[in-house]
């Protein structure tokens, strides 16, 4: 007899584990939750809280204010405290133009506008919290290789692990932008290549960042420097996300460090003094990837499998977390009403609730880089006036902050 689970999550990355934690926090104890991940997940650590040892080369994620609210509800935020670098201010500017604006957390009665955390430590905190909670079944290493409709649910075929198959009321596909399971299910994607690459590295600077994140728009694309906690070899450390044409990105990824630092200094300037050191450099092509379906009877597509965004303003992961929180809330409501977790009308309720947030965030991330790369002088003047105007038009600036923080369209208060 095939084993049954109410909810199976395919993909144990940060989105999949975040969803498992959220479901475990809000759903009744009799609802079975299974997380399937192809790579071996870390074992439980005694006490559940590993010591923090920052790495100069670690990749990082920016968490918005909305993500803090979500993680607070699951109890994860306290675990993350020692690994977070608060973003107290955001400086937005356009290279070679006069327009700029400064967003400050203190102006809105917030401790921070966002937080930067190294991915290794965010992942560690998520997994250890999952181990401590104990109610989520972990299948690792194992992989969902196929799924087929079966009655009102889904039959799931596994590779590795104990059972070769599971029956589930709901399968959540969260295995990344290049999702093989999404393809196997026949869910098409719409892809719009940006013909740019994101170059990622950590850099050490002569001057402290003082909790300031820089978003600098250039004629080639946006350049962001996000504040990080100190690490051996980098007392003043920031995470770089630099959008470039593919050829230039490859040249800068492989060139000698002094040449790289000189090029970056020329683009960013001296707001943090002289750039002193760069760590490992990585680059990847950028595309807007959107699943043409996010829900079917018994199936939800989430995270990068549902929508992979341009990295400008760091909106992608934070949008995925808001999807996670909304899905968990909808499932809680539906199960209390006697509906199955995979009920199509219930999943469509989730899709309807998140549609405005997704459309708003995707449109913002998609069009903002092109707006600043456009060479038209009249448009350039309008951009400069718009950026400068944020500093004198408080209501407009407040709404901009609400959007960047992921609380636009909610009742969350921003400022007085």
- Answer yes or no: is 295 within a domain: yes
Q: Give the pLDDT band of residue 104 (cuts 50, 70, 90).
A: confident
- Answer yes or no: is 135 within a domain: yes
Q: Give the pLDDT band of residue 378 (cuts 50, 70, 90).
A: very low
Tens-place pLDDT, residues 106-126: 888 888 989 999 998 999 999
Question: Is pLDDT larger for residue 218 or for residue 73?
Answer: 73
Given this model, what pLDDT does residue 220 score?
81
Q: Which domain holds residue 171?
A: 3-82+117-191+287-369
d(CA 196, CA 373): 12
**Any idea which of 12-26, 47-61, 123-137, 298-312 has the lowest mean pLDDT?**
47-61
CB-based contact 249:283 (threshold 8 Å): yes
Tens-place pLDDT, residues 230-249: 988 788 999 999 999 999 99
Q: Where are the alpha helices (DSSP H) in 140-255?
A: 180-184, 246-254
Given this model, what pLDDT does residue 373 score?
47
- Find the mean pLDDT for residues 407-413: 54
Given a cut of 90, is residue 172 above it in pLDDT? Answer: yes
Of 138, 135, 160, the residue nearest 36 (C-alpha):
138
Given this model, what pLDDT does residue 376 score?
43
The conformation of residue 47, written as its DSSP 8-state character, comes to T
- Answer yes or no: is 88 within a domain: no
Q: Give the pLDDT band of residue 102 (cuts 50, 70, 90).
A: confident
CATH code for position 145 = 3.50.50.60
Given this model, what pLDDT does residue 386 score?
42
Given this model, what pLDDT does residue 404 score?
65
Given this model, what pLDDT does residue 409 score?
53
Given a cut of 60, is residue 393 above it in pLDDT? Answer: no
Given this model, what pLDDT does residue 372 score?
47
**First-last CA distance in the chain:** 60
Given this model, what pLDDT does residue 347 score?
98
Structure tokens at 217: 């728009």
d(CA 403, CA 14): 23
Tens-place pLDDT, residues 249-285: 999 999 999 999 999 999 999 999 999 999 999 999 9
Single pTM value for the model? 0.89
Q: Give the pLDDT band of residue 308 (cuts 50, 70, 90).
A: very high
Structure tokens at 206: 């002569």
Given this model, what pLDDT does residue 349 score?
97
- Answer yes or no: is 306 within a domain: yes
**Any idea which of 96-105, 178-187, 262-271 has the lowest mean pLDDT?**
96-105
pLDDT over 70 percentage in the chain: 85
- Find the mean pLDDT for residues 165-194: 94
- Answer yes or no: is 292 within a domain: yes
- Answer yes or no: is 174 within a domain: yes
Q: How many domains does the chain have?
A: 1
Residue 171, Cβ neighbours under 10 Å: how many? Answer: 29
Cα angle, residue 272 at apex, residues 267 and 277 outer, rounded to 5°:
80
CB-based contact 111:63 (threshold 8 Å): no
Query: H or E segment at 278?
Result: strand 275-278
**Any idea which of 10-19, 218-227, 264-273, 390-399 has the lowest mean pLDDT?**
390-399
Of 401, 399, 398, 368, the residue nearest 383 (C-alpha):
368
Given this model, what pLDDT does residue 116 score?
95
Of 5, 3, 31, the residue nearest 164 (C-alpha):
3
Given a cut of 50, is residue 389 above it in pLDDT? Answer: no
Of 329, 358, 324, the residue nearest 346 (C-alpha):
329
Tens-place pLDDT, residues 319-370: 999 999 999 999 999 999 999 999 999 999 999 999 999 998 898 888 776 6
Peptide bond into 180 cis (omega under 30): no
Average pLDDT, the chain: 86
- Find the mean pLDDT for residues 298-306: 97
Given this model, what pLDDT does residue 395 score?
54
- Answer yes or no: is 403 within a domain: no
- Answer yes or no: is 50 within a domain: yes
Given a cut of 50, is residue 229 above it in pLDDT? Answer: yes
């Amino acid at each position: 007899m095939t084993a049954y689970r109410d909810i199976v999550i395919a993909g144990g990355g940060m989105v999949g584990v975040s969803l498992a934690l959220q479901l475990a926090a809000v759903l009744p104890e009799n609802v079975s939750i299974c997380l399937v991940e192809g790579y071996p997940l870390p074992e439980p650590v005694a006490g559940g809280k590993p010591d923090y040892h920052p790495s100069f080369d670690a990749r990082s994620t920016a968490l918005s204010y909305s993500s803090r609210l979500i993680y607070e509800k699951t109890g994860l935020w306290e675990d993350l405290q020692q690994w977070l670098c608060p973003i107290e201010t955001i400086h937005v500017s356009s290279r070679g133009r006069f327009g700029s604006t400064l967003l400050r957390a203190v102006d809105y009665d917030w401790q921070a506008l966002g937080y930067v955390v190294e991915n290794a430590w965010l992942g560690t905190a998520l997994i250890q919290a999952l181990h401590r909670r104990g109610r989520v079944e972990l299948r690792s290493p194992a992989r969902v290789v196929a799924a087929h409709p079966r009655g009102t649910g889904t039959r799931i075929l596994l590779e590795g692990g104990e059972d070769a198959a599971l029956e589930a009321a709901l399968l959540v596909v969260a295995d990344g932008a290049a999702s093989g399971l999404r393809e196997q299910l026949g869910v098409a994607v719409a892809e719009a290549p940006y013909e740019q690459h994101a170059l990622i590295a950590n850099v050490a600077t002569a001057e402290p960042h003082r909790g300031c994140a820089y978003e600098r728009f250039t004629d080639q694309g946006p350049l962001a420097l996000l504040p990080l906690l100190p690490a051996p070899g980098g007392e003043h450390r920031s995470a770089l996300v630099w959008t470039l044409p593919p050829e230039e990105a490859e040249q800068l990824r492989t060139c000698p460090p002094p040449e790289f630092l000189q090029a970056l200094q020329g683009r960013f300037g001296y707001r943090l003094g002289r750039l002193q050191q760069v760590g490992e450099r990585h680059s990847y092509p950028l595309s807007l990837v959107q699943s043409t379906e996010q829900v079917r009877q018994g199936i939800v597509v989430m995270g990068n499998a549902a929508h992979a965004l341009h990295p400008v303003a760091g909106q992608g992961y934070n949008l995925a977390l808001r999807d996670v929180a909304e899905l968990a809330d909808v499932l809680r409501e539906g199960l209390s009403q006697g509906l199955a977790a995979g009920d199509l009308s219930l999943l469509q309720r989730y899709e309807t609730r998140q549609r405005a947030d997704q459309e708003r965030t995707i449109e913002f991330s998609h069009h903002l880089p092109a707006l600043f790369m456009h060479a038209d002088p009249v448009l350039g003047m309008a951009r400069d006036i718009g950026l400068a105007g944020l500093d004198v038009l408080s209501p407009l600036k407040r709404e901009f902050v609400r959007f960047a923080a992921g609380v636009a369209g909610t009742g969350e208060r921003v400022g007085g």
